[in-house]
Amino acid sequence: MDQNRRDFLKSAFWTSAAIAAASSKSARAAQPCCSGAAGSMMTYAAPPIKTLRVGVIGLGRGRTGVDNFTYIPGSYVSAICDINAARRNRAIKFLKDHHAPQAKVYGDKGADDWKRLCEDPEVDLVYNATPWELHVPIALYAMKCGKHVVIEVPSAFTVDECWELVKMSEKTKCHCMQLENCCYGESELLAYNLCHLGLLGEITHGEGAYIHDLRTYNYGKWNDKTGGGGYWNYWRLRHNIKHGGNQYPTHGLGPICMDMDINRGDRFDFVVSVDSKQAGFEELGARYTGDSKDDQWRRSLKVKMADMNTSIIRTMNGRTIMVQHNVGTARPYSRLNLIQGTRGVVNDYPLRIAIEESLGKGAHGYDPKKTEEIRQKYKHPIWAQSDEVKKVLGSVGGHGGMDTFMVLRLSYCLQLGLPLDMNVYDLASWCCLCELTEKSADNRGRSMDIPDFTCGAWKNQKPFGFEAVDFSKLGQNFNTVG
């Protein structure tokens, strides 16, 4: 071999080694070193809060918090915040009509007025239901102020943001939970029950989705006088213009994670994701033929968000999960809600259950009568007490009751000093998929590793602990109007 060739190969070797080292260093940097506190929030129980004082930021979706905390014994809304006066006034009127304690009002002093609510010493829990770009800043600031915080979905959009929330929660010992109401749905908790009773056999596969025609909401024009009509400043449409992949994965994914005990004996390993073409949003935008600036802007938009994103996750224990996202076509609502075991399956929309009765028998078709029998017999304890909940709270609330059960369990755990049903590691594991699915879809479905936000603590954790509520252990009811 001549000298020039040897020199070339030597140079190529060291160049490749340097690139590999840099790549390895970059990969390590993407997942911060786990501190000694890692896993500390997995089963963390904060000191009991006898009377839970709640500050609600964002009074659109945040009305779920205002309504439910007003009815739940031992809790009340002590502060509200929204930049829109109409929404503030509606919340004030609701609290007054229900003889609830008068709440402090924030939001009238500018876009950053939420900071004053987080600093308020009469707030124990910050309920963050703002536009997406404010989820992480408010959550971090609230925890710095010593407040527990719950965040609407998705709570974060990047891997780095997820790590920030994890580290802040561990550092401050403040709970940081995602408000994933779908984990409390009747069908979802029924499936959870069947899985953990072993009736479906070994769980190997799940399918979830967020299929919801949101075209008119995305393109709808905000009305400042009424506080409605669309998303303020088209914030959700602006996000969809810039991003592909699955930007709303948790409604369909969360319940499957409960069934599979993700972060509690299993965890996500990697994800692959593929986008369809975009047609639905841009087709609707073309219909705005007026001459207003809004019409011209909507008509000219180029949107990145695909009509359908399909992602496949594989777990460390070899299970698979398919998650889909479609908010831009004319298609009936569905979250799929499918969980498959070796001996049976639960499939929602509509609810269908098939369980093997003996080898090769009982699961070759869906029987509506058997499905109803199983639904009644194995109803989860939380839903088995729905009549009691109605009696105490007056109703089971919105989205078929899942909102109320979510907030009720949250208040119950904080009042009694119990670990929350879901924690910051669940939030991070689910929400990091927003970035990772987009990166995968942008790169021809390349496999993307999913960080272990528990830093190994997932290996020795017990399953999710969804339990019924003992109303006798809750505090007094501040609401005097049923």
CATH code assigned at 95: 3.40.50.720
CATH number at residue 312: 3.30.360.10
Q: Is the pLDDT of residue 369 over 80?
A: yes
Q: Residue range 404-431: average pLDDT?
A: 97
Same domain, 338 and 474: no
- The pLDDT tens digits of the residues spanning 301-315 come to 999 999 999 999 999
Same domain, 337 and 283: yes
pLDDT score for 479: 75
pLDDT score for 360: 79
Residue 24 pLDDT class (50, 70, 90 cuts): very low
Q: Is the pLDDT of residue 371 over 90?
A: yes
pLDDT score for 417: 98
Q: Is the pLDDT of residue 432 over 50?
A: yes
Residue 220 falls inside a structural domain: yes
Residue 87 falls inside a structural domain: yes
Q: Residue range 255-278: average pLDDT?
A: 98
Q: Residue 192: how many CA atoms within 13 Å on its side-chain side?
A: 26
Q: Residue range 264-284: average pLDDT?
A: 98
The answer to whether the beta carbons of residues 140 and 164 sit under 8 Å apart is yes
Same domain, 73 and 173: yes
Same domain, 117 and 255: no
Same domain, 131 and 271: no
**Distance in angstroms (rounded) separating the CA atoms of residues 161 and 453:** 12
pLDDT score for 15: 42
Residue 171 falls inside a structural domain: yes
Same domain, 417 and 338: no
Residue 25 pLDDT class (50, 70, 90 cuts): very low
3 state DSSP class of 55: strand
Residue 210 falls inside a structural domain: yes
The answer to whether the beta carbons of residues 333 and 268 sit under 8 Å apart is no
3 state DSSP class of 310: strand
Q: Which domain holds residue 455?
A: 198-342+424-460
Q: Residue range 199-205: average pLDDT?
A: 98
Averaged confidence pLDDT in the chain: 92
pLDDT score for 22: 43
Peptide bond into 121 cis (omega under 30): no
Same domain, 285 and 434: yes
pLDDT score for 35: 53
Question: Within 10 Å of residue 391's Cβ, how many Cβ atoms?
Answer: 11
Torsion region of 422: left, alpha or beta (phi above 0 gives left; psi -120 to 50 gives alpha): beta
Q: Residue range 420-429: average pLDDT?
A: 98
**Distance in angstroms (rounded) separating the CA atoms of residues 432 and 434:** 5
Residue 348 falls inside a structural domain: no
**pLDDT over 90, % of the chain:** 87
3 state DSSP class of 354: strand
Q: Which of 245, 184, 246, 236 is nearest to 209 (CA)?
A: 246
3 state DSSP class of 45: coil
Q: Is the pLDDT of residue 411 over 70?
A: yes
Burial (Cβ within 10 Å: 0-12, 13-18, ≥19) of residue 238: middle
Residue 166 falls inside a structural domain: yes
Same domain, 323 and 453: yes
Q: Residue range 366-383: average pLDDT?
A: 97
One-letter amino acid of 298: R
One-letter amino acid of 123: V
pLDDT score for 361: 82
Tokens of 412: 């119950």
**Distance in angstroms (rounded) separating the CA atoms of residues 218 and 237:** 5
The answer to whether the beta carbons of residues 285 and 325 sit under 8 Å apart is no
**Distance in angstroms (rounded) separating the CA atoms of residues 23 and 193:** 44
- The pLDDT tens digits of the residues spanning 321-350 come to 999 999 999 999 999 999 999 999 999 999
Q: Residue range 403-423: average pLDDT?
A: 97
Q: Is the pLDDT of residue 33 over 80?
A: no
3 state DSSP class of 203: strand
Residue 189 falls inside a structural domain: no
Q: Residue 427: how many CA atoms within 13 Å on its side-chain side?
A: 33
The answer to whether the beta carbons of residues 28 and 163 sit under 8 Å apart is no
Number of domains in the chain: 2
The answer to whether the beta carbons of residues 403 and 422 sit under 8 Å apart is no
Peptide bond into 350 cis (omega under 30): yes
- The pLDDT tens digits of the residues spanning 52-77 come to 999 999 999 999 999 999 999 999 99
Q: Residue range 220-246: average pLDDT?
A: 96
Same domain, 312 and 396: no
